Amino acid sequence: MRKSSVDEIRRRFDEDVERFSNLETGQSATMDAALAMQLITQAAACTTPAARDLLDIGCGAGNYTLKLLELLPHLNVTLVDLSRPMLERAAQRIGPLTTGMVTSHQVDIREFSPPGESYDIILAAAVLHHLRGEDEWRSVFRKLYQMLRPGGSCWIFDLVESSIPPVQALMWQQYGAYLADFKGEEYRDQVFAYIAREDTPRDLLFQIDLLREVGFQAAEVLHKQSCFAAFGTVK
């Protein structure tokens, strides 16, 4: 199947702002979204309590940053997303809740090139699964390492696949049951269809190994439920 282009993915997200704007539930199409958001932001705050600068990659409507600002309210926030409507909603929600500066960039993370060691915390929620071949994964993970200051932390929540095909089938069955229970079989089929068109997730251990390969010394898995995982690292 031909994968969606960046522009096609952007257009879908342009029309889906409301679904990404619920701070209590997070992105409802992901399993344990609210728990993952809580775990990631708490981990970021406890490992990087003196943080000044936050980068939120694929920020959507800003839920993860809003949750982190409850714990670290003085951050300068840099938002990166493909979708201009998402960025506008995120900045609108975040601006009143931080005493720091809020900066937005409508750009693909693969093309985002800030100066090195610019951020104390990087959040990447439900975004890296859009990366394609191993070269892209390696390049972006290397960029995450380079953008962090020493002592900074990077936290990821994402769709992951299993390296064992029968386990992957089991996890996919569980996810399908979750989606059907949530909004019905038609919704399940809709979500599965856009995942097939847009996404190329990689397994959790591949990503953990890649974090170490690009320079991080340790990584921590905070939570895994079916085909979703929350994990991170400290530089």
What tens digit of pLDDT does each residue of 119-142 get? 999 999 999 999 999 999 999 999
- What's the confidence (pLDDT) of residue 5? 81
The per-residue pLDDT for range 70-90, each reduced to its tens digit, is: 999 999 999 999 999 999 999
Task: Quick: pLDDT tens for 210-223.
Answer: 999 999 988 999 99
* DSSP strands (E only) in the chain: 53-57, 76-81, 102-106, 119-125, 148-159, 219-225, 228-234
Q: Is the pLDDT of residue 11 over 80?
A: no
Element (H, E) at 103: strand 102-106
Question: Is the pLDDT reported for residue 23 higher than 70?
Answer: no
> Residue 171 has which token pair?
């996890």
- Count Cβ atoms within 10 A of the Cβ of residue 133 and give its class: 0-12 exposed, 13-18 middle, 19 or more buried: exposed
In terms of pTM, does the model score above 0.85? yes
Q: List the one residue out of 126, 21, 120, 27 whose CA is nearest residue 72.
A: 120
End-to-end CA distance of the chain: 38
Strand 219-225 to 148-159 pairing: unpaired
pLDDT in tens, 177-186: 999 999 999 9
Give residue 9's pLDDT. 74
Contact 64, 131 (CB under 8 A): no
Both tokens assigned to 82: 């493909």
- Read off the pLDDT band of 14 (50, 70, 90): low
pLDDT digits (tens, 9 = 90+) for 185-209: 999 999 999 899 989 999 999 999 9
Other Cβ atoms closer than 10 A to 77: 26
The whole-angstrom separation of Cα 197 and Cα 19 is 19
DSSP state of 114: P
pLDDT score, position 87: 94
Structural domains of the chain in order of their starting residue, each with its CATH number: 6-234 (3.40.50.150)
The DSSP symbol for 163 reads: S
Please compute the mean of the pLDDT values over residues 89-94 and round it to a whole number.
95
Q: Which helix (H) or strand (E) holds 150?
A: strand 148-159
Sequence length of the chain is 235
Residues linked to residue 57 through DSSP beta bridges, in sequence order: 80, 124
Confidence at residue 1, expressed as pLDDT on a 0 to 100 scale: 65
**Measured distance CA(87)–CA(207) in Å, rounded:** 27
Q: Which two tokens stand for residue 103?
A: 């900066």
- Mapping DSSP to helix (H, G, I), strand (E, B) and coil, where does residue 164 land? coil
Q: 137 or 10: whose pLDDT is higher?
A: 137
Does 26 score more than 70 pLDDT? no
Mean pLDDT of 39-68: 97
pLDDT confidence bin for 2, thresholds 50/70/90: confident
What is the rounded CA–CA span in Å between residue 153 and residue 75?
A: 14
* Arithmetic mean of pLDDT, 28-44: 93
